Amino acid sequence: MLSDIEKRKIKYFGDSLGGLNVIENRKDIPFDVKRVFYIYGTDKNVIRGLHANKNSEFVMISLVGSCYVDVIDPNENKKKILLDNPNEYLYIPKMLWKNMYGFSQDSVLLVLSDSYYDENEYIRDFEDYKSEYGDKI
Ligand code: TYD
């Protein structure tokens, strides 16, 4: 549900030595991590994502810099989130459309997922997404 989309705090153990943040499976995020990827060097004019996932859930963390994430449901309701703090994460359940854009030059966006990559569970056409999930969310 779009109403659940909000930034949450990551456990922080920063001290005089520097920052240290911790995420443990199912304690700090709602799933076991099977996949990690990170996005960087993306021009500020580029829009990434442009898909929904039938099965996978994600956690996004802006480790460095900033970017925006639009999370859109099949009824075209939208939540725009600015990720600009390594102490916060955004949890995105399955079946929601995601666009990432406005990357700062130094942006490093870390993404954790509960699933291995499977192109077959990606929906990359918004009209297909609306017709498949319009009555399910
Ligand atoms: P894509 O999902 O289109 O990236 P974005 O939505 O951020 O623009 O993926 C780009 C390419 O990388 C595509 O060929 C699939 C591949 N890829 C994997 O093989 N495994 C992965 O976990 C991801 C995220 C992408």
Give the ligand 1 atom nearest the CA of 49. 6
Check if 117 has its Cβ closer than 6 Å to any atom of ligand 1: yes
pTM over 0.85: yes
Query: Is 51 labeled as catalytic in the residue annotation?
Result: yes
pLDDT digits (tens, 9 = 90+) for 66-119: 999 999 999 999 999 999 999 999 999 999 999 999 999 999 999 999 999 999
Cα gap 52→68, rounded to integer Å: 16
Nearest CA to ligand 1 atom 18: 117
| Tokens 């499976």 -> residue | 25
User: The tokens of 130 are what?
Assistant: 């609306």
Cα gap 38→109, rounded to integer Å: 5
Nearest CA to ligand 1 atom 17: 117
Q: Which of 35, 48, 111 has most ligand 1 atoms within 8 Å of its beta carbon, as the pocket-test mutant?
A: 48
Pairing mode, strands 48-53 and 122-123: antiparallel
User: Model confidence at 136, in pLDDT bands (50, 70, 90)?
Assistant: confident
Give the ligand 1 atom nearest the CA of 119. 15
pLDDT digits (tens, 9 = 90+) for 15-58: 999 999 999 999 999 999 999 999 999 999 999 999 999 999 99
Pairing mode, strands 97-101 and 67-72: antiparallel
Say which of 48, 51, 54, 130 is annotated catalytic. 51
Cα gap 86→21, rounded to integer Å: 8
For the sheet containing 35-40, what is the strand order?
7-9, 88-92, 58-64, 108-113, 35-40
Nearest CA to ligand 1 atom 14: 119
